[in-house]
Amino acid sequence: MKILVCEDDFMMIKAIEHKLKSEGYLVDVVTDGNQAIEKIRQGDYDLIMTDLLMPFVGGLELINTVRNELLLKMPIIVLSRLGNEDTIIEAFKLGADDYITKPFSPNEVSIRVKRLLIKR
């Protein structure tokens, strides 16, 4: 299973990558929305995990592009800090499937990813 992680914070990248790889997933990381869209066009990802605040193209715009332009249906998990409720709601409206608040629990990441990939 291949997961694309869209996140521009070094520590968050390392933590998520560490967890997902330990679970056996293949992980690609991009640090901005433009890179993410390019990777998604080229690759075949089973799940996308994206931060909301990123350079150039943010998480909401990325979700919109994936769902409404590229018409792709892979699960999308939003990474967000507490207090971003309005933005999270908007992300769900655009087509996100789940969200994880930062800083995250390793077990929560594992469970939420597995749950969405089983459905797929």
Task: Return residues touching other proteins (CB under 8 A).
Answer: 9-12, 14-15, 18-19, 22, 53, 81, 102-103, 106
Which parts of the chain are beta strand (E)?
Answer: 2-6, 26-30, 47-51, 76-81, 98-102
Do 64 and 87 meet the contact criterion of CB atoms below 8 Å apart?
Answer: no
Shortest Cβ distance from residue 51 to other proteins (Å)? Answer: 10
Q: Which is nearer to other proteins, 54 or 76 (CB)?
A: 54
Spatial distance between the Cα atoms of 116 and 21, rounded to a whole number of angstroms:
17
Q: Which is nearer to other proteins, 42 or 107 (CB)?
A: 107
Shortest Cβ distance from residue 70 to other proteins (Å)? Answer: 28
